[in-house]
Structure 1
């Protein structure tokens, strides 16, 4: 119905059916057919038509005067919304894991804001899975395979994990040679890595180790600090401890037992149109992750073959 009203207004403003057809880039027969369908639906004739002129009937003139302001206002609003969606400007609300967003990805956020001064970012950080659709957020950063059919996702890269401990701890308690040795060690556990999926290099069989924690936390940086202080063995995203390994404050353990890196995704609601500002952020994050050495298979450059 709305399209038919807009068509009628365009016909009156154009002065003829042929001129309206040209303006709308439609066949003249289509314009005529749609006008006739509108007249049938309204139950009255809207236009006096002849070979040489077109003039609104009394009902048509009244209808035109009432509809014209509404159609033009709607068109202006639509153009304004379209311009807004196409501009890299406005507010973006992001859900993300605490340590990933406030650690390795910090330069990405800063770089994006510097490139796009008309954009503002708001973060809601949590190490638990948050309801993206219910929260009204524009975007979520998630680690691991995504199975939610209501969400669209784009792979940004991957994140490996490392098993580490302080040299002083290993000197005091010894170095584990296999996953079974971990039962005799103190451990530091941080969410979401409360279970350790290790892979036997001899058989390829994956083992789920459920260590008893000497210290348990939901803040990964606290866990790293505790491990550096010699409080136990820690399984941690490689992005957070590669510098510690390079400095020698942590030592990598059981490298052959590490699971495959987990994919890193940008996720957004499937039914939601992605504005240009959000699309720009996703593209920026992908470029950042693909070019940052800290993201990858989890192996420190010095230990790679």
Structure 2
């Protein structure tokens, strides 16, 4: 019905059936049939037909004057929606882990904005899992298994193994632990949300999982790293976030045969929403970025 109405308005404005058909990119006979269908639905003739021109009847003029503003308003709304959904522009709201977003993914935000200057990014950073749907965000970056079946997801990359690390000064003062039982008795630095430590022996496959009591606990890796470098204790940390400190010798591995498993990085978004082009572009950009980063590559 709405399509037939728009075609009728176009016929009146262009002055001929052929011109309206060309504007709509449909055959003239098809347009004639749809016009006839509209007239049958309304129960009156809308146009006087002649060999050269079509002019509205009295009822046609009345119908045209009433419907024209509605058709134009709908066309404008559709055009605006098309821009919103199909052009890479506008605001993207993102939930992301603070440490990952601040460190490994930091260059990705900058390069995305450079590539798509008509977009805006609004990041809400938190190291705990937030409610994506309730927050109104477009997409969330999450690490680890994603059991929520109400969300779509795309694997972006992989956070490498977690390592037990400490400063050379701490190990010089306290000695290096020689077993997991001895490790549990040492001063530990806890960076939530990695509050449960699960490590596996590389040769035997033995797995140890426990919730340590820390000498220093913080809900972020950066301060935990500083605490470990300062000699406060042993830290369980993703390789992707401590590799620079290991290379510089500020930290060294403890019990190197014991490691935590790699964790996959996902982009997740609501199944209930159409994904605008700007969000799709961001997801693709992050996936490509992760595959170019040795610390995040799958």
Q: TM-score range by the shorter chain?
A: 0.7 to 0.9
CA distance, structure 2, for counterparts of residue 122 and residue 150 of structure 1:
23
Count of residues in correspondence between the two structures: 297
- Give the aligned partner of residue 242 of structure 1: 243
Mind listing any 5+ residue stretches in structure 1 that lack a counterpart?
Answer: 298-305
- Give the aligned partner of residue 168 of structure 1: 169
Aligned counterparts, 1:99-178, within 5 A: 99-160=99-160, 161-178=162-179
- Give the aligned partner of residue 217 of structure 1: 218
CA offset digits 1:7-65 (Å, max 9, x no partner): 32234345555554444334556444443443344343333457776443322221112
SS in 2 for 1:145: coil
- Give the aligned partner of residue 91 of structure 1: 91
Contact preservation (8 Å) 2:167, 2:230: yes
Contact preservation (8 Å) 2:199, 2:261: no
- Give the aligned partner of residue 209 of structure 2: 208
Residue range with higher mean Cα deviation, 106-115 or 13-22: 13-22
CA distance, structure 2, for counterparts of residue 158 and residue 41 of structure 1:
60
Change (3 A) 1:57 1:256: farther
Change (3 A) 1:68 1:231: same
Matched, 1:76 2:76: yes
Change (3 A) 1:38 1:259: farther
CA distance, structure 1, for counterparts of residue 116 and residue 53 of structure 2:
53
CA distance, structure 1, for counterparts of residue 266 and residue 87 of structure 2:
24
Change (3 A) 1:49 1:254: farther
Aligned counterparts, 1:267-278, within 5 A: 267-278=268-279
Contact preservation (8 Å) 2:203, 2:257: no
Mind listing any 5+ residue stretches in structure 2 that lack a counterpart?
Answer: none
Contact preservation (8 Å) 1:261, 1:296: no
Q: CA deviation at 1:193?
A: 0.3
Matched, 1:228 2:229: yes
SS in 2 for 1:184: coil
Q: CA deviation at 1:280?
A: 2.9
TM-score (normalizing by structure 1)? 0.84
TM-score (normalizing by structure 2)? 0.86
- Give the aligned partner of residue 303 of structure 1: none
- Supply the RMSD in Å over aligned alpha carbons: 2.7
CA distance, structure 2, for counterparts of residue 117 and residue 255 of structure 1:
45
Contact preservation (8 Å) 2:190, 2:224: yes
Contact preservation (8 Å) 1:104, 1:239: yes
Contact preservation (8 Å) 2:140, 2:268: yes
SS in 2 for 1:213: coil
- Give the aligned partner of residue 301 of structure 1: none
